């Protein structure tokens, strides 16, 4: 819901062992920090609703860490960034599948 409501398009994504890569197209009226806040808040709530054991494990704590890294594309094309995200599982020997995009 967050992405749809705020006109954000998720172009590519990869879930790693301890991080997530996202390539998104964001309208100029929405700051990167606000988008990250929305995504972390909504995914945390959905994960804790679906996986009740997370409620016990993270009781009184945050599911996501405070930090994040954001960069805008410009010096490289979106295709290069999408390929970088796709290639992450070649560098990591853990399982990193493309995720399915649901309504956030």
pLDDT of residue 30: 92
The per-residue pLDDT of the chain, averaged, comes to: 77
Go through the domains of the chain in sequence order and give each one's CATH number: 2-91 (3.30.70.1290)
Is 0.75 topped by the overall pTM? no
Q: Rounded CA gap, 13 and 31, in Å?
A: 19
pLDDT of residue 104: 52
**Share above pLDDT 90 across residues of the chain, in percent, rounded to a whole number:** 8
Judge whether residue 59 has pLDDT over 80: no
**CA end-to-end distance (rounded Å), the chain:** 4
Please report the sign of the dihedral spanned by the C-alpha atoms of residue 79, residue 40, residue 9, residue 94: positive
């Amino acid at each position: 819901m967050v992405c749809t409501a705020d006109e954000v398009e998720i172009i590519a994504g990869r879930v790693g062992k301890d991080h997530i890569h996202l390539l998104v197209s964001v309208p100029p009226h929405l700051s990167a920090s606000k988008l990250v806040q929305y995504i972390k808040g909504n995914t945390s709530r959905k994960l804790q609703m679906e996986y009740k054991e997370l409620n016990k494990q993270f009781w009184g704590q945050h599911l996501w860490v405070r930090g994040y890294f954001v960069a805008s594309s410009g010096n490289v094309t979106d295709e290069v960034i999408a390929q970088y995200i796709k290639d992450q599982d070649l560098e990591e020997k853990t399982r990193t599948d493309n995720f399915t995009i649901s309504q956030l």
